[in-house]
Structure 1
């Protein structure tokens, strides 16, 4: 069974659509919404459809909480603004059956036709296909036993998916699926597309150079 883990914080505008999308998927599944302290109607809305679990705020903490409560042997982490292909669960199971321990989906932005945003999606998919580095909006999935073996997502406020990818690809094969996952361009349009792109590249370089996640998180919040 695949446990679908959705970390949320004040996502009342998207949560019902996301859950409905996930419920329609073919395949054995459970859906866990992990709330980090929403102050809007996210929790009350989600509870009408699926199980909601409270967690300390922070995406890595919320995803780890979801993993601890998951009953499935495969974990799939999905952002609350994602649009999912109907064959996603079947494609995940097929990939795992071929000896991969996990992977991610091919990214696209569903709410913009901006050429540079298409470039960002293409480079993200190339990074996943050849570098085996997957970011959260690509719908990371992983065998639960492999997830546990590296102690889950690192307990850091930012770059948790980047660090997770660096660790997980050392213990097994990861695959970028041709199957697509849609994500919103809202964080790019809000902060300026090119400006946000440069900020993200800067953050990755600084992280690799040894700058602490706490300092990077502060920088990210101040700029955003």
Structure 2
């Protein structure tokens, strides 16, 4: 196999993810050839469980940063060696040969994009909302779908806005949509439905919708976080 001219740095921000992170790392190693992956960077935000200890001997590189997804992802991006950054949630599993799909997209001049999504649940309600991830409109985007972007473009946009304690993925992708064509890859990541099971599917989806609406109506990062703390956290 010819070594790819582009190399991917997978960046996963974590906080107390001992139950999921090892399975995610093993999945990444199993379903993507080394010809595409430069490194797997786990950026820990001060976990108080066994996240750090379970990651020993997995082959992933563990970095430590202040807690906050935007801060952690920016830190990982600054340390990344790859020319493509791939941001992934700790409980989301990419499709087989995801690295090849991402590199081929970049080779075809797509500087940023994501995969479609399904949940690890039989819920028709969640299946309905996951269906919309195939639509290439900003409203249908979210961090659970993962995100690939060239490091050059990420740096040009100054990365994630660290004022956002939540909604940082959506805010950044909103800027991406204004700057470059956004690519939706046909394969699907599988993400955990654990938060929906914890809070209630309809209730959580309603509050996520309200956060989207508040942002569109001009609410800033502090107002969004206040709503999140009141209704979800």
Structure 1: gaps of 5 or more residues: none
Partner of 1:150: 157
C-alpha distance in structure 1 between counterparts of 2:107 and 2:219, whole Å: 38
Structure 2, gaps ≥5 residues long: 1-6
SS at match of 2:180: coil
What is residue 17 of structure 1 aligned with on the other side? 23
Report the 3-state secondary structure (helix = DSSP H, G, I; strand = E; otherwise coil) of the residue aligned with 2:137. helix
After superposition, residues 56-67 of structure 1 pair within 5 angstroms as 56-67=66-77
TM-score of the superposed pair, with normalisation by structure 2? 0.91
Task: Find runs of 4+ consecutive structure 1 residues off by over 6 angstroms.
Answer: none
RMSD: 1.3
How far 1:208 moved relative to its partner?
Answer: 1.5
User: Which secondary structure state, in structure 1, belongs to the residue aligned with residue 82 of structure 2?
Assistant: coil
Alignment partner of 1:170: what SS? helix
TM-score, normalised relative to structure 1:
0.95
> What is the CA-CA distance between 1:133 and the residue it aligns to?
5.6
Equivalent residues of 2:111, 2:149 under 8 A apart: yes
Given that 1:133 and 1:162 are in contact with CA atoms closer than 8 Å, whether structure 2 keeps it comes out as: no
Are residues 1:2 and 2:12 paired? no
| C-alpha distance 145-18 of structure 1, shift in aligned 2 (>3 A) | same
CA contact (8 A) 2:20 2:90 kept: yes
Cα distance between partner residues in 1 of 2:48 and 2:146: 25
1:32 matched to which residue of 2? 41
Question: Does structure 1 residue 54 correspond to structure 2 residue 64?
Answer: yes
State yes or no: 1:101 paired with 2:126.
no
Structure 1 residues 1-57: Cα deviation after superposition (integer angstroms, max 9, x where no partner) = 100001100000111101111112113311000000100110111132211000111
Corresponding residue pairs, total: 221
| Mapping for residues 1-224 of structure 1, pairs under 5 Å | 1-24=7-30, 25-26=32-33, 27-29=35-37, 30-49=39-58, 50-110=60-120, 112-126=121-135, 129-131=136-138, 134-155=141-162, 156-224=164-232
Deviation at 1:212, TM superposition (A): 2.0
